[in-house]
Amino acid sequence: MKKFVFIVLSFVLIIAASAQTKTIKPATQTKPTAASGRLVEIKTDYGTMVVKLYDSTPLHRDNFIKLVKQKFYDSLLFHRVIEGFMIQGGDPESKHADSAAMLGNGEAPGDMIPAEFRTGLYHKKGALAMARTDNPEKASSNCQFYIVQGQVYTNAQLNDMECKIRQNNPDFYFTDAERKTYNTIGGTPFLDQNYTVFGEVIKGIDVIDKIAAAQKDANDRPLQNIRMKMRMLN
């Protein structure tokens, strides 16, 4: 099975971001904002987060709710953490995994989830998104997810990323609101319109930083297991 990780291009885009590319679209253009939706509590060994699931991504929302209600995620690990990038979990093989086990291949029963890219849903700090293999349809894992920590980017860097994203998506651009968020709160803008964002952390965002800073091995797995437990709040 293919491992649910981020394609190497993601990291290349960070390095390639420069300060010389001009803005692509007028900054006055806007996009719709994310609608409010169902709330999920994620308890971890480092604290508790509350995430809001977007109604505008119903396939991902409903799949996540189903797994939460089935207690699928309970006792699974955040098995891959990269400070300044994201924290990833949801591999069912992590529940009873040996400390030396390679994780990231596990799946839930069923098919992958078709991509649900939406304007206005982007990879700001706290964004909840699904991992995926490097498949041409960019379909998501049916269980493995990540939460963005990211970092702050300048407008010059965003301009460069915008150009690269537009090579495959000519209508793409960062709005004023998105640029302000990436300039101040941060995120992983190079993943926009490439991985499906379907929710965001609305409480306990500091927990992301704590998990991301955990000591880890050469495979980005925390040396001490970081387990999760989830429940629906509404």
* 26, part of any domain: no
Q: Give the tens place of pLDDT for each residue, 1-34.
A: 355 554 433 433 333 333 333 333 333 333 444 4
pLDDT band at 100 (very low <50, low <70, confident <90, very high): confident
Whether 28 is covered by a domain: the verdict is no
23 assigned to some structural domain: no
Query: What value does the mean pLDDT of the chain take?
Result: 87
Is the residue at 163 inside a domain?
Answer: yes
Q: How many domains does the chain have?
A: 1
Specify the CATH number for the domain of residue 198.
2.40.100.10
Q: Is the pLDDT of residue 225 over 90?
A: yes
Q: Residue 198 belongs to what domain range?
A: 9-17+34-232
pLDDT digits (tens, 9 = 90+) for 166-214: 998 899 999 999 999 999 999 999 999 999 999 999 999 999 999 999 9
To the question of pTM greater than 0.85 for the whole model, the response is yes
Distance CA 105, CA 1 (A): 6
The span from the CA of 71 to the CA of 90, in Å, is 12
168 assigned to some structural domain: yes
CA atoms within 13 Å, Cβ hemisphere of 126: 16
Write the CB contacts of 168 (distance below 8 Å, at least 6 apart in sequence).
Answer: none
CB atoms within 10 A of CB 152: 14
Sequence-separated (6 or more) residues with CB below 8 Å from residue 43: 228, 229, 230
- Do the domain assignments include residue 225? yes
- 22 located within any domain: no
- Confirm whether 29 is domain-assigned: no
Classify 53 as helix, strand or coil: strand
